[in-house]
């Protein structure tokens, strides 16, 4: 290392612009890290909302399916009564 600069394998130090370029890369890495943290939090929130939606959806499906079965059985009994099968 020469004055805080990293030497190339050939022994010459990198140009001063290399430090600026590395600083830009570090900034990009920090921004990417922050963005990933936000994405992870949004995914957690989305999964929570999806679980809540599924529980409501499952309950609504059960109610609807129960109503269909009840109606079908009721109509079958009504038809059997009208046809004097009972």
Task: Annotate 26-51 with b (16+ C-beta within 10 A) or e (fewer).
Answer: eeeeeeeeeeeeeeeeeeeeeeeeee
Q: How high is the pLDDT of residue 33?
A: 95
pLDDT tens per residue across span 34-71 = 999 999 999 999 999 998 888 888 888 889 999 999 99
> What percentage of the chain exceeds 90 in pLDDT?
53
Cα–Cα dist 47/53, whole Å: 10
Which tokens hold the place of 67?
């109503």
Pairwise CA distance, residues 40 & 48, whole Å: 12
- Residue 54 pLDDT: 86
């Amino acid at each position: 290392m020469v004055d805080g600069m990293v030497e190339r394998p050939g022994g010459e130090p990198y140009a001063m612009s290399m430090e600026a370029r590395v600083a830009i890369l570090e900034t990009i890495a920090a921004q990417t890290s922050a963005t990933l943290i936000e994405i992870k939090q949004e995914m957690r929130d989305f999964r929570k909302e999806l679980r809540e939606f599924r529980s409501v959806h499952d309950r609504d499906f059960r109610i609807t399916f129960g109503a269909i079965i009840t109606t079908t059985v009721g109509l079958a009994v009504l038809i059997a009564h009208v046809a004097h099968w009972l």
